[in-house]
Amino acid sequence: MTASAVPGATARARSRRSRLVGRLLGRLVFLGPGLTYLIVLLLIPLVLVLSYSFFRRGRFGGVVYEASGESLTRLLDPIYLDVVLSSLKLATVATLIALLVGYPTAYMIARLPRKWKTVALVAIVLPFWTNFLIRIYAWIVLLSGPGLVNSALGKLGLGPFEFLYNEGTIVTGLVYSYLPLMVLPLYAAIEKLDPQLAEASANLGARPARTFVSVTLPLTLSGVVTGCMFVFVPSFGNFVIPELLGGGRSIMVGNLIRDQFLTARDWPFGSALTLALLAVLIVLLLLQAWSARRA
């Protein structure tokens, strides 16, 4: 027995070792390249942004590499705090409008016959696949001083109005750009909802509004939260829409960040602003995860 057990044990040990080597090799081959890439070109850059925000700007635009809280404390300057608050406001308004328009649209699509459902969904996504800048440009053509909306109104004897370059146009641009991202998760949530639940609620005497608030909305809340995140995140950090439709003033954090890197050449402060932007979004993501766990 002992004579046969020993070679068996070594064979087992060898096969265990070869399996271990195989597993390590698998990890190295499959995970190695991608993770290395992400560490070098994603994590290290983020850490660099973090560390730059602890330096300060040199007199001629360079970076002074000594620890300083100057850049981070400048975030609390009312001028910059205002910009952060106004970005929060614009992104929130855009998100709410997208939700108010997107929810009924998603609801209608979910209740369409199968054939039309696909058509309606593709039609929602199509504009999203066209160049983002061109979609913004289209609004300039529509809304500018001699633009099409004004010439149409002019024929009615109204205007001309100055539609462009205010907060309203920025919100319009944000809603226009990200509405598809609101409709899709809402649709996914509403589609899963059993229509019989709403019918049951109606049969039990609930009015449509009541059914919506106590049955439909709670059951589709995950879609609402996801859709809101999808619209809020790109809106909050946007700099193209406020620049092209808002008249180029630094009204949103994105513009401010862009200016620090490309015109003011204050990289430490730009990094501090980028961190602030990231911090707001991380707080929101944590809130979302927390609400998902509760639901």
Chain residues 105-164 in contact with other proteins, contact rule CB under 8 A: 105, 107-109, 111, 118, 122-127, 129-142, 144, 146-148, 151
Helix (H) or strand (E) holding 215: none
- From candidates 12, 16, 17, 27, binder to other proteins by CB under 8 A: 27
| Contact by Cβ (8 Å): 163, 169 | yes
Site for other proteins in 28-87 (CB under 8 A): 29-35, 37-38, 41-46, 48-49, 52
Amino acid at 211: T
The whole-angstrom separation of Cα 196 and Cα 32 is 50
The whole-angstrom separation of Cα 127 and Cα 232 is 19
Q: Does 215 bind other proteins (CB under 8 A)?
A: no
Structure tokens, 187: 């649709």
Q: Does 237 bind other proteins (CB under 8 A)?
A: yes
| Contact by Cβ (8 Å): 53, 268 | yes
Q: Does 244 bind other proteins (CB under 8 A)?
A: yes
Amino acid at 111: R
Q: Does 233 bind other proteins (CB under 8 A)?
A: yes
Tell me the closest approach of the beta carbon of residue 3 to other proteins, in angstroms.
28
| Contact by Cβ (8 Å): 235, 171 | no
Contact window for other proteins (CB under 8 A) among 71-79, 87-95, 96-104, 160-168: 96-104
| Contact by Cβ (8 Å): 271, 50 | yes
The whole-angstrom separation of Cα 62 and Cα 245 is 32
Tell me the closest approach of the beta carbon of residue 112 to other proteins, in angstroms.
9
Q: Does 278 bind other proteins (CB under 8 A)?
A: yes
Residue 254: how many CB atoms within 10 A of its CB? 24
> Binding-site residue total for other proteins (CB under 8 A)?
89
Tell me the closest approach of the beta carbon of residue 30 to other proteins, in angstroms.
3
Residue with tokens 């994105």: 254
> Considering beta carbons, is residue 35 or 67 the nearer one to other proteins?
35
Tell me the closest approach of the beta carbon of residue 221 to other proteins, in angstroms.
19
Tell me the closest approach of the beta carbon of residue 56 to other proteins, in angstroms.
15
> Considering beta carbons, is residue 6 or 108 the nearer one to other proteins?
108
> Considering beta carbons, is residue 128 or 166 the nearer one to other proteins?
128
Structure tokens, 279: 């911090």
Q: Does 25 bind other proteins (CB under 8 A)?
A: yes
Tell me the closest approach of the beta carbon of residue 45 to other proteins, in angstroms.
3
| Contact by Cβ (8 Å): 238, 175 | no
